[in-house]
Amino acid sequence: MGETTIPKLSDNRVFKCLFSVIGIMSSLVIYGILQEKIMKVPYGNKKEERFKYSLFLVFCNRLTTSTVSAVVLLATNKSVNPVAPISRYAVVSVSNIIATTCQYEALKYVSFPVQTLAKCAKMIPVMLWGSVIMQKKYNIKDYLVAVFVTVGCSLFILYPDSGDISILEKARESTVLGVLLMLGYLGFDGFTSTFQDKLFKGYDMEIQNQLFFTTTCSCLISLFSLMFQGHLIPAVEFIFRNPDCFYDVIILSSVATASQFFISYTIRNFGALTFAIIMTTRQVIVFGTLYAKSLLRNKPEKPVLPTNSEPDATNSNKS
């Protein structure tokens, strides 16, 4: 009798998928909380200064990811030469910068829970870009499911109820601009993941190789943009003037690097649409948790029954 071959754990697709799901969900939850804190919570002794240089956060995130990728490539004796034309890496880089900038800017106009729910529409742009870039075909049922999710997200954002979850008054007044920024994020983010999928399938490319060259391009682009806008020095002065912000940016960049590795790992092994489905599931779980907490917080208290400690008004008058 032949021996039963037990597949290695690292070759098991179920294990790989579970690894991707846990890694993406855990890292992006921390990333989202820190992202909202940096962009919305005031810093300083008097809590009057707000950090407003979203592109600087993109630069720090990409610089950290690029450095870590280079270290991993060198430590594992893998080639640091590009396996695809630099222009291909640059396309991913530019679209990723635009998507991330839209995401940060949207936080000025919509709350994190609203942004979380809006991201449930990730499947539609990925499917559309997959049809254009990779010539994939989806049936009508797939599109209908994605459309229904998007309609639900749009209704929630455009018509918030007074009891919704921690939506700031300023966010209510600027909801339309917030929606436009989120649409920009979804469109460019969908393009980024789909084009990454195309690069992985078209070239014999390691995850660290793609991350190194795309994030290096992102570093250069965001650095020149910061210098052109005159935001580089003010951003650096702000974080050194506010040590709490400095530490938040360091942690954010570290978490962003971890999430980039998990995202690229997922796209390389399962494709862009699977990544979008994981992200959609994550948004539903996060929003469901926030909504449940909101319901518990706003649960009406039981009425307090009157006691007999106070004298009855009728008896008092008779006396």
pLDDT at 164: 46
Structure tokens at 252: 């954010």
Residue that wins the pLDDT comparison between 17 and 7 = 17
pLDDT at 1 over 80: no
DSSP state of 43: B
Q: Which pLDDT tens digit goes with each residue over 210-263?
A: 999 999 998 999 899 999 999 999 999 999 899 889 999 999 999 999 999 999
As a whole-number percent, the residues of the chain with pLDDT over 70 amount to 75
Cα separation of 166 and 116, whole Å?
A: 12
Query: Computed from CA positions of residues 43, 287, 147, 21, in that sequence, does the dihedral angle turn out positive or negative?
Result: positive
For residues 77-97, give the mean pLDDT.
88
Between CA 196 and CA 188 the distance in angstroms is 12
Q: What is the pLDDT of residues 109-167, one digit of tens each?
A: 877 666 766 777 788 888 888 888 888 877 787 778 777 766 765 565 455 444 444 44
Q: Identify whether the C-beta of residue 154 lies closer than 8 Å to the C-beta of residue 89.
A: no
**221 vs 172 pLDDT, higher one:** 221
Structural contact between residues 193 and 267, judged by C-beta atoms closer than 8 angstroms: yes
| pLDDT greater than 60 at residue 75 | yes
pLDDT at position 165: 44
What is the tens place of the pLDDT at every residue in 293-317?
666 666 555 555 555 544 444 444 4
Region 274-290: what's the mean pLDDT? 74
Q: 0.85 cut: is pTM over it? A: no
User: How crowded is residue 269: how many other Cβ atoms within 10 Å of its Cβ?
Assistant: 16
